[in-house]
Amino acid sequence: MKWLFAILLLMLLIFYYYRLFNVFFKIKKNRVFPLPDEVLEDIRIEAQRPIAEPKVASQKGSVFTFIFITSWVFIAIMFIVFTDQLNVANYMLLLLPLFQMEFLFNQLVFLQKGMVKGLKYIPWHKIDSYEVQSIDINNRHFGFDKKVNDGFEMKLHLGRSSQVSLLITSIEAHDQLQILLASHGIKQKA
* CA neighbor of 122 nearest in space, from 157, 161, 174: 157
- Per residue, the 3-state secondary structure of 36-80, as one string, reads CCCCHHHEECECCECCCCCCCCCCHHHHHHHHHHHHHHHHHHHHH
pLDDT band, very low/low/confident/very high, at 89 (cuts 50, 70, 90): confident
- pLDDT tens for each residue of 18-38: 888 888 787 777 777 776 556
pLDDT band, very low/low/confident/very high, at 44 (cuts 50, 70, 90): confident
With beta carbons less than 8 A apart as the criterion, state whether 158 and 122 touch: yes
pLDDT at 165: 87
Domains of the chain: 2-188 (2.30.29.30)
Query: pTM of the full predicted structure?
Result: 0.76
- pLDDT tens for each residue of 111-158: 888 888 888 888 889 999 999 888 878 777 777 777 778 888 888 998
Report residue 125 CA to chain centroid gap. Answer: 18
Per-residue DSSP letter, 186: P
CA distance 89 to 126: 35
pLDDT at 86: 61
- Cβ contacts of 175-182, under 8 Å, gap ≥ 24: 176/33, 177/33, 177/43, 177/110, 178/132, 180/32, 180/33, 180/110, 181/127, 181/130, 181/156
pLDDT band, very low/low/confident/very high, at 6 (cuts 50, 70, 90): confident
- Cα separations (Å) of 29 from 2, 34, 93? 42, 13, 37
- pLDDT tens for each residue of 169-187: 888 888 888 888 899 888 8
